[in-house]
A = this chain, B = another copy of it.
Amino acid sequence: MRPSDLPQVRALRLFDSMEDESFAALMQASYLQTFPAQLDLIHEGEPADFLYVVIEGCVELYASSNGREATMAMVHPVGSFILAAVLKDVAYLMSARTCARSKLLLIPAQNVRDALGSDDGFARAIVQELAGCYRGVVKEYKSLKLRTSVEQLANRLLRYNKERCDAHGAFELPYDKKTLASLLGMTPENLSRSFNTLKPYGVEVNGAQIKLTDVKALEALAKPHPLIDERGN
């Protein structure tokens, strides 16, 4: 574990109120590994051996059933994934693969559970993290149930615009369109069409580069709502 990565991990809400000794012990037991792109890290149904933290790169969580596959979430630095399975010591519900060359911290599940039992600050942070994860997936579930594909895309673009807009008023899509389509629960063909549908609402597309030239019109179509679109609470 490179010492320069430690502050980044320590600053995660999950770990920031942990006792120094607990945190040091947990990091001592952990592994920092670099993985190439398109590598399967875990498979749904397997027992949860590690809690994963993305230090660099990007990880796709996906699910498969009956010959079908869907992207469930994307994890960026310095996010963690698969916490619930680790805490309950049960099987993963989703598989994970890197979508770029990635550096990941692997924390043995048993050590996480031990620390939960011995460090109150950690336990409280875990409660807040789990509650946040729960609310995050409820929001995604709401979006899928209550919105059309075009509406979902419009809201996603508004969020990216808010988070990533550069000096030219444009932003770059955080991952390829095929993955974005799967994340939104549609086919790549339909994503392409949805972008075209949004053209009259000021959405200019140049590959992965997007520029929103009429945010007001797009918002009128998208109808963003904090109870679905806000992240982090």
Chain B residues within an 8 Å CB radius of A93: 135, 138-139, 142, 227
Assuming the contacts A128-B87, A142-B93, asked whether A147 and B65 have C-beta atoms less than 8 A apart, the reply is: yes
- Whether A165 is near chain B, meaning CB under 8 Å from some CB there, is no
Chain B residues within an 8 Å CB radius of A120: 120, 123
Residue of B nearest to A132 (CB): B88
0 or 1 for each of A182-196: is its CB under 8 Å from B? (1 = yes): 000100000000000
Copies in the complex: 2
A127 touches B128 (CB 8 A): no
B72 touches A142 (CB 8 A): yes
Chain A, 53-94, CB within 8 A of any chain B CB: 63-66, 68-70, 72, 83-85, 87-88, 90-91, 93-94
A144 touches B145 (CB 8 A): yes
A120 vs B122: C-alpha distance in the bound complex, in angstroms? 12
- Tell me if A's interface is mostly helix, strand, loop or mixed: helix
- Whether A1 is near chain B, meaning CB under 8 Å from some CB there, is no
A113 to chain B, nearest CB (A): 10
- Whether A130 is near chain B, meaning CB under 8 Å from some CB there, is yes
A214 vs B56: C-alpha distance in the bound complex, in angstroms? 51
A105 to chain B, nearest CB (A): 20
A11 to chain B, nearest CB (A): 20
- Whether A137 is near chain B, meaning CB under 8 Å from some CB there, is yes
A47 to chain B, nearest CB (A): 12
- Whether A170 is near chain B, meaning CB under 8 Å from some CB there, is no
Chain B residues within an 8 Å CB radius of A45: 227
Chain B residues within an 8 Å CB radius of A134: 84, 130, 133-134, 137
Contact of A141 among B66, B141, B227 (CB under 8 A): B141
A124 vs B44: C-alpha distance in the bound complex, in angstroms? 25
A146 touches B65 (CB 8 A): yes
A127 touches B87 (CB 8 A): yes
Chain A, 126-172, CB within 8 A of any chain B CB: 126-128, 130-135, 137-142, 144-147, 151
Chain B residues within an 8 Å CB radius of A225: 65-66
- Whether A223 is near chain B, meaning CB under 8 Å from some CB there, is yes
7 A-B pairs (CB sep. < 8 Å): A44-B227, A66-B146, A85-B131, A93-B138, A116-B124, A141-B144, A145-B185
